[in-house]
Amino acid sequence: MAGASLYGQADVPDAPDVPGAPAGGGLPYGLDRLSNPWTRFLTRRLARLLVSVFVVVTATFLMIHLIPGDPVRAALGLTAPADLVESRRESLGLNEPLITQYVSYLGGLFTGDLGTSMISGTPVSEIIADRLPQTALLGSLAFLTAVAIAVPLGLAMALLTRDGRRRGVELGFTSTAAVMSAIPEFLLGVALVAVFAVSLGWFPVAGMSGASSFVLPVLALALGPAMALARILRVEALRVLGEDYVRTARAKRLPRRLVYRRHVFPNALTSMLTIGGLVLGAMLIGTVLVENVFAWPGLGMTIVESILQKDYPLVQGVVLVYGTSVLFLNLAVDVVLGIADPRSTIRES
């Protein structure tokens, strides 16, 4: 090999150096070539979503039939006259064969017909359309708040405690975060109400009325997940700080803030995403409890009320909404993860 020149060797293809297949991973450079794994990824995910939605729909349909005894009798009470029960059964279609009911349930879904509330006689879809916005607003505000707290806090803690510095700060943070994230949202809500609404009178105790009424429910929902995320993010950022590519970045002699911003933070945030998705799903369902603490006029109140009143068509509708939202949320997290971590789409296919 002695004497081989730098450019003389260029046209000799070195076999082990060429990867087997051109793999894609991002969008801006050469869309045509790279769109392939993305299409595959999205198709697979959408197919899986469809199957999952179908399972959820079937489960909510079957829910009412799995209840032991006669649900209508249970809803109307033991004293209700038999002919009222019978006519209610008739109007709900419960006397049809199961398969007929299933088909008409599916058919109704396609036309947006989720049935009618047994208590109020209002179409279920109307009730949901009326209640959903409040829950969505509460949930997304809480999510934004959690991220707004967790990201700066977790990264700052990582930088403060890197290389085993400030052991006191580290211990204080990790134990506070552990305890905070172990307190369920409804207990935190009750504590917040007791202190900030009842004792100090800074915020309203319950209901949705103006901006100040958002503060306590959002905090109750966001604080626990925020601390959990911050704790994970700190550990991830510390791990990334020890990675070889951070050493490379330092060898490039980039300003320290660039090292953090370009090489440490994005990778730490990416590795946090998977767990972040789980936290997000739990937060969505956390609205059920928090809404009931704060008498928030959303779906969470509706679902509990309807279960207590045995208003089964309404229960079915709301469970369906919560279930499919979880599925869509999971899909969204996967897509974000696919964009943020170029390796994930490849791993998938």
* Candidate residues 4, 78, 99, 211; the one interacting with another protein per rule CB under 8 A: 4
Q: Does residue 101 belong to the site contacting another protein (CB under 8 A)? A: no
Quick one: 137 or 319, whose CB is closer to another protein? 319
Cα–Cα dist 136/300, whole Å: 11
Quick one: 298 or 341, whose CB is closer to another protein? 341
Kindly report each contact of residues 256-260 with a partner whose C-beta sits within 8 Å and lies 24 or more positions away, as own/partner: 260/155, 260/159
Cα–Cα dist 169/191, whole Å: 26
Number of residues that bind another protein (CB under 8 A): 102
Q: Does residue 342 belong to the site contacting another protein (CB under 8 A)? A: yes
Q: Shortest approach of another protein to residue 151 CB, angstroms?
A: 16
Interface positions, 297-326, toward another protein (CB under 8 A): 303-304, 307-308, 312, 315, 319, 322-323, 326
Give the binding range for another protein (CB under 8 A) out of 17-25, 77-85, 89-97, 133-141. Answer: 17-25
Q: Which amino acid is at 133?
A: P
Residue 115 φ/ψ region, left for φ over 0, alpha for ψ in the -120 to 50 degree band, beta for the rest: left
- Enumerate the β-bridge partners of residue 123: 116
Q: Does residue 140 belong to the site contacting another protein (CB under 8 A)? A: no
Q: Does residue 118 belong to the site contacting another protein (CB under 8 A)? A: no
Which residues are CB-neighbours of 60 under 8 A, at least 6 positions away? 316, 319, 320, 323
Q: Tell me the CA end-to-end span of the chain in Å, nearest whole number.
A: 40
Quick one: 78 or 253, whose CB is closer to another protein? 253
Q: Which amino acid is at 11?
A: D
Interface positions, 250-289, toward another protein (CB under 8 A): 250-256, 258, 262-263, 266-267, 270, 281-282, 284-286, 288-289
Which residues are CB-neighbours of 4 under 8 A, at least 6 positions away? none
* Candidate residues 45, 89, 184, 348; the one interacting with another protein per rule CB under 8 A: 184
Six token digits for residue 330: 């999971």
3-state secondary structure of 13: coil
Q: Does residue 77 belong to the site contacting another protein (CB under 8 A)? A: no
Quick one: 107 or 178, whose CB is closer to another protein? 178
